[in-house]
């Protein structure tokens, strides 16, 4: 009996120490703003002042600069986007801000990949980024239990510990901070010596060589509709936007039109606007919008982001003023590819493979 009690006390002591250590390490991570996706305090300081929100993944995080938008549109904008952001993550962060700000406009970025991430498996990284952007333990726990299945709890625990260890190291090197050191209202430029990665293949050399597996999962669709309902509930105008990818990527895929049409149908059914800036006619006339200035096939480089933000804002200004902006866009991708010379007799019958 004594042995059992001693063993039980040891187990309880171990669990207690383990729990306290976990809480300590987690708090180091949650209180820090070392990582690019951590912005609790910046958003808190701006609470009550924001009238425009951008929610999406890395496409919009790298492409839309709030300060530049505000100069043209006279708005107060925050970019909530983050790498690999899931539809649930977009909804959660949008909910956090739309409930404490006088939001008039929401831009929802939808890329060719937005609905294809398989819930609980492909979405882990994006959902991980949401948790430290929530400002109370209760919210973090609620999101963790709703966004992860039991098989993902161990992965999540390990990933947070890894980041906490990095934060401890940052503390001893003097790099630890509880203030968002980026402070660009959510926009995060690329950093590094090599700002751009030139795309070596020309669009016509890759024309229709791939088709994109575009599965649409019920959970992703559920949160897309929840975003639409949330905007309606708070009286915010929703604009669904596709951010330009490289011309190389536009030409490569055979089924990008199908993805566009699916988003268009959702927009039409729900009375919202969908603007696909991959169909923007003037894109290639700007120096820094050319493929060699893209960071990779689907993400703009820093110079491209400045140009695109300005042109995007000018077009949106006309739209908000009630002008017809349809002439700024091609009607479909076949017309775009023919107009820009990506399709010719040599490649129009090429065999596409899945990607």
Task: Report d(CA 134, CA 40) in Å as an integer.
Answer: 7
- Whether 351 shows a pLDDT value over 70: the answer reads no
- Whether 145 shows a pLDDT value over 80: the answer reads yes
Q: Over the stretch 110-136, which tens digit does the pLDDT of each residue have?
A: 999 999 999 999 999 999 999 999 999
pLDDT mean across residues, the chain: 91
Task: Report d(CA 230, CA 33) in Å as an integer.
Answer: 28
Please, which pLDDT band fits residue 68 given cuts at 50, 70 and 90? Answer: very high
Domain borders along the chain are: 53-115+185-354
pTM of the model: 0.92
Tell me the average pLDDT across 14-41.
81
Q: Percent of the chain scored above 70 by pLDDT?
A: 94
- Whether 326 shows a pLDDT value over 80: the answer reads yes
Task: Report d(CA 313, CA 101) in Å as an integer.
Answer: 21
Tell me the average pLDDT across 210-232.
94
DSSP percent split of the chain into helix, strand, coil, nearest 5: 55, 10, 40
Please, which pLDDT band fits residue 195 given cuts at 50, 70 and 90? Answer: low
Pairing label, strands 273-276, 237-242: parallel
Tell me, rounded to whole angstroms, the distance of Cα 136 from its chain centroid: 22
Listed in sequence order, the residues at least 6 apart from 212 whose beta carbon sits closer than 8 Å to its beta carbon are 112, 116, 253, 255, 256, 259, 354, 355
- Whether 320 shows a pLDDT value over 90: the answer reads yes
* Cα distances (Å, whole numbers) of residue 183 to 78, 79, 168, 254, 296: 11, 11, 22, 39, 25
At the top level of CATH, which class does the domain 53-115+185-354 belong to? alpha beta
Tell me the average pLDDT across 213-217.
90
């Amino acid at each position: 009996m004594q042995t059992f009690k001693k063993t039980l006390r040891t187990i309880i002591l171990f669990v207690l120490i383990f729990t306290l250590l976990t809480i300590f390490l987690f708090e180091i991570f949650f209180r820090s703003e070392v990582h690019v996706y951590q912005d609790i305090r910046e958003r808190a300081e701006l609470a009550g002042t924001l009238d425009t929100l951008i929610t999406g993944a890395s496409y919009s995080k790298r492409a839309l600069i709030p300060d530049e938008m505000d100069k043209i549109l006279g708005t107060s904008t925050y970019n909530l986007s983050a790498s690999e952001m899931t539809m649930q993550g977009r909804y959660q962060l949008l909910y956090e801000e739309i409930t404490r700000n006088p939001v008039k406009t929401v831009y929802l970025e939808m890329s060719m990949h937005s609905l294809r991430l398989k819930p609980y498996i492909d979405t882990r990284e994006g959902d991980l980024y949401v948790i430290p952007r929530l400002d109370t333990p209760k919210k973090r726990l609620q999101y963790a239990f709703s966004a992860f299945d039991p098989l993902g709890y161990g992965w999540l625990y390990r990933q947070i510990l890894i980041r906490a260890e990095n934060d401890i190291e940052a503390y001893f090197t003097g790099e630890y901070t509880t203030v968002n050191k980026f402070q660009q209202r959510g926009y995060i430029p690329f950093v590094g010596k090599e700002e751009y990665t030139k795309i070596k293949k020309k669009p016509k050399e890759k024309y229709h060589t791939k088709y994109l597996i575009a599965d649409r999962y019920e959970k992703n669709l559920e949160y897309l509709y929840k975003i639409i309902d949330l905007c309606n509930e708070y009286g915010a105008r929703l604009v669904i936007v596709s951010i330009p990818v490289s011309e190389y990527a536009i030409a490569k895929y055979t089924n990008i039109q199908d993805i566009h049409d699916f988003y268009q149908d959702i927009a039409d059914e729900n009375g919202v606007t969908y603007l696909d800036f991959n169909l923007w006619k003037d894109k290639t006339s700007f120096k820094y919008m050319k493929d060699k200035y893209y960071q990779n096939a689907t993400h703009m480089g820093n110079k491209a982001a400045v140009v695109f933000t300005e042109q995007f804002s000018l077009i949106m200004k006309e739209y908000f003023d009630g002008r017809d902006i349809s002439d700024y866009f091609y009607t479909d991708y076949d017309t775009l590819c023919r107009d820009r010379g990506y399709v010719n007799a040599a490649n129009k019958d090429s065999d596409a493979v899945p990607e």
